[in-house]
Amino acid sequence: MHALAAGHAPPSHAAIGAALLAVWLVWGSTYLAIKLALETMPPFVMAGARSMIAGSLLLTALRLRGVPAPPLVEWRNAAVIGVLMVTISNGAVVWAQGSIPSSLAALGVATTPLWIALATGILEGWPRPLEWLGLAIGFGGVVLLNGDGALRATPMAAFLLLVAQLAWGAGTILNRRMALPSGLMASATQMLTGGTTLLVLGLVAGERVTVVPSATSLAAFTYLVLVGSILAFSAFNFLIRNVSPALATSNAYVNPLVAVLLGVGLGGERLGPATLGAMVVILIGVALVLLAHDRTQR
Residue 286 or 8, more confident? 286
pLDDT at 204: 96
Q: Cα 54–27–208 angle (5° rounding)?
A: 50
- Pick the range with the lowest mean pLDDT from 35-39, 264-268, 278-282: 264-268
Nearest to 218 by CA among 29, 37, 27: 37
What's the rounded mean pLDDT across residues 249-272? 73
What's the rounded mean pLDDT across residues 161-184? 88
Residue 53 has pLDDT above 90, yes or no: yes
Separation in Å, CA 200 to CA 40, 45, 164: 19, 8, 19
What's the rounded mean pLDDT across residues 165-194? 92
Is the Cβ–Cβ distance between 201 and 48 less than 8 Å?
yes
pLDDT at 151: 46
pLDDT at 181: 95
This model's pTM is above 0.75: yes
Dump the DSSP string for 143-178: HHHTTTS-S---HHHHHHHHHHHHHHHHHHHHHHHS
pLDDT at 197: 98
Residue 107 or 192, more confident? 192
Most confident of 14-23, 151-160, 165-174: 14-23
pLDDT at 52: 98
Residue 5 has pLDDT above 70, yes or no: no
**Residues 86-97 pLDDT 10s:** 999 999 988 887
pLDDT at 159: 80
Separation in Å, CA 277 to CA 43, 125, 273: 34, 33, 8
C-beta atoms surrounding 39 within 10 Å: 11
Confidence of residue 104 (pLDDT cuts 50, 70, 90): low
pLDDT at 121: 67
Nearest to 106 by CA among 38, 168, 29, 18: 29
Residue 254 has pLDDT above 70, yes or no: yes
